[in-house]
Amino acid sequence: MVFLVAGSAWGPAVGQWGMHPNALLDSCTVLLKQVLRFDHPADMVVSRHFREQRLGPRERATVAETIYTVLRKKNLFTYLAQHGSGPTERRLSILGFAAERDFLLGALTDQEKDWLARCDQVKPEDLMELHRHNLPAWLVEPLKAQLGDDFWPLVESLNAPAGLDLRVNTLKDKRAEVQKELAKAAIKTVATPYSPWGLRMTTKPALNKLDAFTRGAIEVQDEGSQLLALLVDAKRGEMVVDFCAGAGGKTLALGASMRNTGRLYAFDTSGHRLDALKPRLARSGLSNVHPVAIAHERDDRIKRLAGKIDRVLIDAPCSGLGTLRRNPDLKWRQSPKAIEELTAKQAAILQSAARLLKPGGRLVYATCSVLRDENEAIAQAFGDANKDFTPLEASDVLTHLGVEGAAKLCSGPYLRLWPYLHQTDGFFAAVWQKI
Ligand SMILES: C[S@@+](CC[C@H](N)C(=O)[O-])C[C@H]1O[C@@H](n2cnc3c(N)ncnc32)[C@H](O)[C@@H]1O
């Protein structure tokens, strides 16, 4: 049957196993039970499990991919699991088990084998829509209304694993040189089609021991994220604010774009996330970055900088629904109420951060959500209420920066990236100039 994943493109390689299949299936079952409580992000729960359990790299890859496959296909697998026997989480783990079928069969009872063979006979056309799109009901209507015929291509892309992009730190090296260096370490990459800083990998090797990584020449960053930083077009000697800097993915790109000159404030309400920026900053060679933990978006420190800043990026807290390829648990952890709270927060942050800009300055509002409520609706309301901000066409900005085919990345005045069209996560950005 087409739904079961027995080793995906990113799954573990064929070879010797260090564990009996039943022990591995048990490990998946125990972990899945914890993940499906949805009280913490899945990646955190998986990492904790790996710290507590001794598993080899291949077994870890299988367990992680099994969990993520179940999260991606939860509606379908829950439906199929109704008809089997034994604990639900074990049946879900069997359906998502990310290794060769023969290995899995070594762990199954005769009853389970029969049930799995029956699952294999199920055809997509026999299934209800909810078992094919694997989305929560509340998310289906807004996406269908927005996407029309593109709903199914989007769903398929969101339910597939994501690739892996690197950003080359151009303060340290040129992209072509880093590409050659990686090729010598047998890591094949291609230049990203739109970002001038990006390399797309065709495999997922461990990077953190590579010299290019430890000397700060590369960072893992989706091409879409790179394009958000590019839209800011931060220049030498400027005063720039990354308002929701988090662990600094975009801060590092902005700092390099400023050639390590001027002053770049990295604000965030989470001191913990800003702490994660520090080792990345140390590797990057940037000394123009000033991380500041703020209490909220109206913090006094923001008032003091009002009217003084050349460029502000707001990479707003959002539902993350554009990143379902990497974080499939988010579709189960978000809710209409959470989106409503987020949109209120997004509007408040945008309004407050806009005060920082000096006349002629540039404001970029961005999210990694695919929902209109978090994107166009926020940008539209801000534009209507702030006539001292002129909207800029994102495609003009990117074309001016040398991005070929920039119009294909945009919808109306906005940047709108989609996994099924651009092989990036789903991203949105709106750009204004302060009059
Ligand atoms: C999308 S994440 C940022 C990701 C980051 N820019 C990157 O590229 O890695 C949003 C961030 O907004 C922060 N945040 C939430 N509320 C905020 C507020 N009122 N003011 C500033 N930052 C806030 C969160 O802590 C979170 O780190």
Provide the residue-wise pLDDT of the chain in tens; the chain has 435 residues. Answer: 444 433 333 444 445 788 899 999 999 999 999 999 999 999 999 999 999 998 999 999 999 999 999 999 999 999 999 988 889 999 999 999 999 999 999 999 999 999 999 999 999 999 999 999 999 999 999 999 999 999 999 999 999 989 999 999 999 999 999 999 999 999 999 999 999 999 999 888 889 999 999 999 999 999 999 999 999 999 999 999 999 999 999 999 999 999 999 999 999 999 999 999 999 999 999 999 999 999 999 999 999 999 999 999 999 999 999 999 999 999 999 999 999 999 999 999 999 999 999 999 999 999 999 999 999 999 999 999 999 999 999 999 999 999 999 999 999 999 999 999 999 999 999 999 999
Check residue 83 and give its pLDDT. 87
Check residue 15 and give its pLDDT. 55
Q: In this structure, are 273 and 398 located in the same domain?
A: yes
Question: Domain containing 29: what range?
Answer: 21-134
Cα(76)–Cα(304) distance, rounded to whole angstroms? 53
Answer yes or no: is 315 a known binding residue: yes
Q: In this structure, are 192 and 231 located in the same domain?
A: no
DSSP letter string over 165-198? EEEE-TTT--HHHHHHHHHHTT--EEE-SS-TTE
Q: Cβ(81)–Cβ(88) under 8 Å?
A: yes
Residue positions counted in the chain: 435
ipTM, two decimals: 0.99
Q: In this structure, are 299 and 180 located in the same domain?
A: no
Could you tell me the two tokens for 179?
Answer: 């590409």
Q: In this structure, are 318 and 420 located in the same domain?
A: yes
CA of 246 to the centre of ligand 1 (A): 5
Checking 397-402 for CB contacts under 8 A at 24+ apart, the result is: 397/231, 397/233, 397/431, 398/194, 398/227, 398/230, 398/231, 401/196, 401/230, 401/233, 402/196
CA of 286 to the centre of ligand 1 (A): 21
Strands 357-367 and 309-315: parallel
Cα(251)–Cα(261) distance, rounded to whole angstroms? 13
CA of 11 to the centre of ligand 1 (A): 31
The pair phi, psi for residue 301, each rounded to 5°, is -65, -25
The closest of 254, 259, 230, 231 to 242, measured between CA atoms, is: 254
Check residue 140 and give its pLDDT. 98
For ligand 1, whether the C-beta of 296 sits within 6 Å is yes
Helices then strands, counting H and E runs in the chain, come out as 21, 13
Q: Is 28 a catalytic residue?
A: no
Q: In this structure, are 216 and 336 located in the same domain?
A: no
**Residue entry with tokens 């997509």:** 124
Domain count, the chain: 3
Statement: the pTM of the whole predicted model exceeds 0.90: yes
Cα(358)–Cα(305) distance, rounded to whole angstroms? 10
Check residue 127 and give its pLDDT. 97
DSSP letter string over 384-435? HH-TTEEEE-HHHHHHHTT-TTGGGGEETTEEEE-HHHHSS--EEEEEEEE-
Q: In this structure, are 177 and 304 located in the same domain?
A: no
Q: In this structure, are 257 and 393 located in the same domain?
A: yes
**Residue 322 C-beta-side C-alpha neighbours within 13 Å:** 27
For ligand 1, whether the C-beta of 317 sits within 6 Å is yes
Beta strands in 214-279 (DSSP E): 218-220, 239-242, 263-268
CA of 317 to the centre of ligand 1 (A): 5
CA of 371 to the centre of ligand 1 (A): 18
- Whose alpha carbon is nearest atom 13 of ligand 1? 244
Checking 390-394 for CB contacts under 8 A at 24+ apart, the result is: 390/432, 390/433, 390/435, 391/430, 391/431, 391/432, 392/362, 392/431, 392/432, 392/433, 393/431, 394/231, 394/429, 394/430, 394/431
Check residue 1 and give its pLDDT. 46
pLDDT tens for residues 162-216?
999 999 999 999 999 999 999 999 999 999 999 999 999 988 888 999 999 999 9
Return left, alpha or beta for 259; rule: phi > 0 is left, psi -120 to 50 is alpha, else beta. left
Cα(401)–Cα(382) distance, rounded to whole angstroms? 26
For ligand 1, whether the C-beta of 273 sits within 6 Å is yes
- Whose alpha carbon is nearest atom 20 of ligand 1? 297
pLDDT tens for residues 60-111?
999 999 999 999 999 999 999 998 888 999 999 999 999 999 999 999 999 9
Check residue 54 and give its pLDDT. 85
CATH code of 292's domain: 3.40.50.150
- Whose alpha carbon is nearest atom 17 of ligand 1? 269
Q: In this structure, are 310 and 173 located in the same domain?
A: no
Cα(58)–Cα(16) distance, rounded to whole angstroms? 9
- Whose alpha carbon is nearest atom 9 of ligand 1? 249
The closest of 69, 56, 68 to 13, measured between CA atoms, is: 56
Q: In this structure, are 84 and 71 located in the same domain?
A: yes
Answer yes or no: is 139 within a domain.
no
Q: Cβ(211)–Cβ(254) under 8 Å?
A: no
Could you tell me the two tokens for 81?
Answer: 């699991």
Answer yes or no: is 289 within a domain.
yes
Listed residues 156, 190, 220: the one ending a domain: 220
Q: In this structure, are 203 and 80 located in the same domain?
A: no
For ligand 1, whether the C-beta of 270 sits within 6 Å is yes
Please, what's the largest Cα pairwise distance for the chain? 73
Answer yes or no: is 416 within a domain.
yes
Q: How far is CA 254 from the centre of its chain?
A: 19
Answer yes or no: is 157 within a domain.
no
- Whose alpha carbon is nearest atom 4 of ligand 1? 246
Give me the catalytic one of 28, 119, 244, 368.
368
Cα(34)–Cα(46) distance, rounded to whole angstroms? 9
Check residue 17 and give its pLDDT. 84
Check residue 84 and give its pLDDT. 81
Question: Which atom of ligand 1 lies nearest, measured to the CA of 242?
Answer: 6
What does the radius of gyration of the chain's CA atoms come to, in whole angstroms? 23
CATH code of 93's domain: 1.10.940
Q: In this structure, are 275 and 417 located in the same domain?
A: yes
Check residue 203 and give its pLDDT. 87
Listed residues 220, 241, 259: the one ending a domain: 220
